[in-house]
Amino acid sequence: GLFIGTGHQDNYAKLVVSATGGAGGIEFLKEVSGFPTFRPQAAVALPGPDAIDLYLTVDPATRTVQPSFTVTTAGTTGPPTAVGAPEPIPAGWLSGTAALAAGLISTSNGAAPPFPATWDFFEVVPEAAPTKSLVASPTSVAFGAPQGGASQSANVALSTSDGAAAPYLVTDNAT
């Protein structure tokens, strides 16, 4: 599995593949100051898949983490599956001078025999910033042919697709 947090064992969130007594599944757990928050396990038949990819998507603006996974069987990767809704994480995990810790985790509960676990890669990458587009109202303006050097004008209101203020440049393509 994988985890994020402060780098301290009492403040982290993990997403792991779990045998759970043979039932199999994907388990998410968040622990803050030593107090765990569990979610219902997402069922995945084990053994079975060729690969399971785990994701912890952090949204710093909302201070949440979204656990999800994909399953690959016979060379086909299924769609991402969310493990519940985004989970709030403490602001302290994302502020200050220390970076958010991320890593790999593997544990065994009780007197179970050793098991093989492999990770073929691990990466922390920023998600692409959402793109904004300009929305014009009206969406088009038609001019007739100007006569004798007369000019024509029209008012067009521009706003961003998400309603937030953003700088923009307006040019024309008139020939």
Predicted confidence (pLDDT) per residue in 90-130, tens digit: 988 888 777 788 888 887 767 767 667 777 777 777 766 66
Predicted confidence (pLDDT) per residue in 4-56, tens digit: 998 888 999 999 988 766 678 899 999 999 999 988 888 888 888 888 999 99
Q: Report CA 159 to chain centroid distance, whole Å.
A: 27
Predicted confidence (pLDDT) per residue in 119-131, tens digit: 777 777 776 666 6
End-to-end CA distance of the chain: 59
Which pLDDT score, from 0 to 100, does residue 170 have?
47
Which pLDDT score, from 0 to 100, does residue 171 have?
45
As a whole number of angstroms, the distance between CA 5 and CA 13 comes to 6
3-state secondary structure of 93: helix
DSSP structural state of residue 74: T
